[in-house]
Amino acid sequence: MGIIDHKSKKEEEQYPMISKPLRLILLQKGSYVLSSLFFVFGFSVGLFLCLQLKAVHMSTTTTQRQPLWSTLLFNHTTTMDIKQDLQLKILPHNMTDQELFTKVSSLSSPTSSSSSSSSSWLGRRHNNDGKMVVKVAFMFMTGGRLPLAGLWEKFFEGHEGFYSIYVHTNPSFPDSFPETSVFYSRRIPSQPVYWGTSSMVDAEKRLLANALLDESNQRFVLLSDSCIPLYNFTTIYDYLTGTNLSFIGSFDDPRKSGRGRYNHKMYPQINITHWRKGSQWFETTRELALHIIADTVYYKVFDEHCKPPCYMDEHYIPTLVHMLHGEMSSNRTLTWVDWSKAGPHPGRFIWPDITDEFLNRIRFKEECVYYGRDGENVTTSKCFLFARKFTAETLEPLLRISPLVLGFGP
């Protein structure tokens, strides 16, 4: 009794204004409120953590669906966003030709290595080791549509990241390629081209300069709207990237159609002994392409003094390369044409011409020397990788026999 009385007296001293029954009620209610607060707090923390884990999972899943190079360079945008972004940033611009050529010349000095880097990362492609993948730039020069686009679509199929496409066409020609096409949005800012004039060379240089804006483009192929590939993509890619040399035809033609076109007013910059003729359709390394873009001295001489019957597109680059950079070229073209018929233009091919035997005659017509990167010279029957002039009506038979003969297609 003494202990109980002492305790009761002590509680009354601590809570003099609250009776014992009331204190019990308050304690019970306080315990209930505190429990409720703990429940609400715990539920909120759990919900927050759940949402965070779900967001992390979705972000990880999205990232895993993308190629490694896109994750590293473009901060988790989709592959389609990357494709459209590069198309918008690389192709359209409002530079004049001179501004474009000056910009390209500043990207990398012509005397530097072809593997030298530029300040721009636009268009770079990397493999899983972080190394830049070499791309081949396919440059199409046409006055309008590409009638053989269906064949090229099959040729490029499955090789994304190893090629770039550039199209130079008449500015008034409307685009007609669907978004699913490899040619969609690959048109460069162009100018009208007139056969037999310096505008032909201007278009070639315009294509080269636009393609050089992409650092990963290391090989450059000039094609017309009537060209076809003679092998599958892998064969052509390995052929082009397996050598340090360009393929530009350049020869001394003593006839009227050769030396007869030389204008003595070109002297002393260009001597008649320097004068060369060759195919307009070339394939070049990045280093030689930079040299071609950088030239202004010899271009001015040709532009002023090479008028019909002198055709600048047949003489300017062959003569320039022979005079200054002959050691960089294999001195032959990779594009086959039929000059067996007399006239200023090569033979054209129509539907009945397209047979297995015809294409194989072109593919294995002759032997030539191939200079590999390892310094080994190999004699090969693969002397031509492309051919022209094929009309629009040849598309159907070419698609039909391409899987068996050319190694690609349906």
- Dihedral over Cα of 178, 237, 290, 319: its sign: negative
User: Which run of H or E residues covers position 139?
Assistant: strand 135-141
Mean pLDDT of the chain: 80
Please give the pLDDT value at position 176. 77
The region of weakest confidence among 41-45, 205-209, 373-377 is 41-45
Token couple for 96: 């004049």
Whether the predicted pLDDT of 70 surpasses 60: no
Please give the pLDDT value at position 241. 97
Helix (H, G, I), strand (E, B) or coil at 298: helix
Please give the pLDDT value at position 349. 96
Whether the predicted pLDDT of 343 surpasses 80: no
Question: How large is the average pLDDT for residues 167-171?
Answer: 94
Please give the pLDDT value at position 42. 59
Closest CA to 203 of 85, 317, 334: 317
Please give the pLDDT value at position 43. 57
pLDDT in tens, 289-334: 999 999 999 999 999 999 999 999 999 999 999 999 999 999 999 9
Please give the pLDDT value at position 372. 93
Contacts of 138 (CB under 8 A, 6+ apart): 152, 163, 164, 165, 166, 221, 223
pLDDT in tens, 233-261: 999 999 999 999 999 999 999 999 999 99
Please give the pLDDT value at position 355. 97
The region of weakest confidence among 96-100, 344-348, 387-391 is 344-348
Question: How large is the average pLDDT for residues 165-181?
Answer: 91
CA 111, CA 29: separation in Å to the nearest integer?
87
State pTM to two decimals.
0.75
CA 154, CA 187: separation in Å to the nearest integer?
19
Token couple for 238: 């390995």
